[in-house]
Amino acid sequence: MDLGKLARQALTNIKPYVPGKPIEEVKREYGLKDVIKLASNENPLGPSPRAVKAIRGFLEEINLYPDGSCYNLTKDLGDLLGMEPSSLIIGNGSDEILKLLAETFINEGDEAIMAEPSFSEYDFCVNLMAGKMIKVPVDRDYVHDLAQMAAAITDKTKLIFICNPNNPTGTIASGDRIKEFMERVPDNVIVVFDEAYFEYVNDPDYSSGLDYVKEGRKNVIVLRTFSKVYGLSGLRIGYGIANPGLIEWVSRAREPFNVNSLAQIGAEAALGDEGFLTESLSLNEQGKKYLYQEFRQRDLDYIPTQANFIFVDLKVDSKKVFKRLLEQGVIIRTGDIFGYPDYIRVTIGKQAENERFIRALDKALNELR
Ligand SMILES: *Cc1c(COP(=O)(O)O)cnc(C)c1O
């Protein structure tokens, strides 16, 4: 029996997600003991220590179902953001909220708009619901081309994804550009601001989509996560902020216990861990400066980043570089998955990791040139 005939048609269009290669896998395949991963924009300092402590203290209670409403975390986040708890939804990673958005709003044949290159999950979720994704190339500066994205809106458009800062380019769409764009968005379109990296931004031209949630004129949802600066990728927890009406609809598609109790406990503790946040951001700034300088010395074109990763044009096939880096125990991301085969995306690590990456890159490029 050909199961493809039984499966939903929409699934034939789904391309499997290409995750960052896990450390253990590289150790096994290459017989290495010491491997570093600069591939998934994880926090090089590890998890928030406060989160770890809180989770340890809660382990004896995992026989109980989690709080399906995430009461405590929702309240803390609300206080922090100056929003009512009814404006928040917590997800099993912000990935889950992306999926819930598609499940809530995308009927077969509906359209969504995203930038290219950008985060592949948007494409996945929309395709899963048999929607059609319209991809609008970034402009010459690798920034979301919001004018073209607005021009791509049709009667069928339901969702527009703005990844700000954008993964993999690290660029931001400025507050002014977003303002112009929002004026052109009709009321029956939902704008999703994915702000997974907003904590890292230091460009004064940045403005969060939260302003538009608060203003309440348009249908806007802002997504954020504990996976990056808080160092909790493995727990799977992120959140969305929108008007209560939008939250209520999206919540209809949510599983009752979508966020596990350790994730809730860990996220709550991490929120109060300001020291860890500051330390993580300052390490990122230092690493960014170091890598910029090394790239410049080697005449490698990089895109200045507002996040914790850098997209670099190596002008050689990045898959070949990837393999040579793996052999040296360094995992990065190739640009081919984003449509940029000569680029790599490297996460900014600890100083020693960044240095090791540069040494390995020199060796790889020497072999290839
Ligand atoms: C890492 C990342 C996320 C976060 O995903 P989680 O599911 O919360 O781990 C969301 N959007 C983008 C663009 C990302 O890079």
Verify whether ligand 1 is closer than 6 Å to residue 307 (CB atom).
no
Nearest CA to ligand 1 atom 14: 196
Give residue 41 CA to ligand 1 midpoint distance, Å.
9
The pLDDT value recorded for residue 131 is 98
Of 119, 226, 345, the one to substitute when testing ligand 1's pocket (max ligand atoms within 8 A of C-beta) is 119
The mean pLDDT values, 10 residues at a time, for the chain of 369 residues are: 90 84 94 96 98 98 98 98 97 98 98 98 97 98 98 98 98 98 97 98 97 96 98 98 98 98 98 97 98 98 98 97 97 96 98 98 95
**Which segments of 3-56 are extended strands (E)?**
36-37
Q: Does domain 3-46+275-368 have CATH number 3.90.1150.10?
A: yes
The pLDDT value recorded for residue 93 is 98
The pLDDT value recorded for residue 303 is 98
Query: Model-level pTM?
Result: 0.97
What kind of fold does domain 49-271 have according to CATH?
Answer: Aspartate Aminotransferase; domain 2 (3.40.640)
Verify whether ligand 1 is closer than 6 Å to residue 91 (CB atom).
no
Verify whether ligand 1 is closer than 6 Å to residue 166 (CB atom).
no
Measure the CA–CA gap between 222 and 183, rounded to whole angstroms: 18
Give residue 1 CA to ligand 1 midpoint distance, Å.
37
Ligand 1 atom with minimal separation from the 228 CA = 1
Structure token digits, residue 298: 């080697």
From the number of C-beta atoms within 10 Å of its C-beta (0-12, 13-18, 19+), residue 313 rates as: middle
Q: Per-domain residue ranges for the chain?
A: 3-46+275-368, 49-271
Verify whether ligand 1 is closer than 6 Å to residue 164 (CB atom).
no
Nearest CA to ligand 1 atom 2: 196
Ligand 1 atom with minimal separation from the 92 CA = 7
Measure the CA–CA gap between 66 and 89, rounded to whole angstroms: 15
Verify whether ligand 1 is closer than 6 Å to residue 167 (CB atom).
yes
**CB distance 90 to 73 below 8 Å:** yes
**CB distance 223 to 195 below 8 Å:** yes
Ordered DSSP codes for 98-154: HHHHHHHH--TT-EEEEEESS-HHHHHHHHHTT-EEEEEE--TTS---HHHHHHT--
Verify whether ligand 1 is closer than 6 Å to residue 221 (CB atom).
no
Verify whether ligand 1 is closer than 6 Å to residue 238 (CB atom).
yes
Verify whether ligand 1 is closer than 6 Å to residue 163 (CB atom).
yes
**CB distance 336 to 345 below 8 Å:** no
* pLDDT per residue as tens digits for the range 8-38: 999 988 888 878 889 999 999 999 999 999 9
Verify whether ligand 1 is closer than 6 Å to residue 194 (CB atom).
yes
Of 329, 299, 323, nearest to 312 by C-alpha is 299
Give backbone dihedrals phi and psi of 156, rounded to 5 degrees, phi first.
-90, -5
* pLDDT per residue as tens digits for the range 128-140: 999 999 999 999 9
The pLDDT value recorded for residue 22 is 93
Give residue 167 CA to ligand 1 midpoint distance, Å.
9
* pLDDT per residue as tens digits for the range 95-150: 999 999 999 999 999 999 999 999 999 999 999 999 999 999 999 999 999 999 99
Nearest CA to ligand 1 atom 10: 196
Ligand 1 atom with minimal separation from the 41 CA = 1
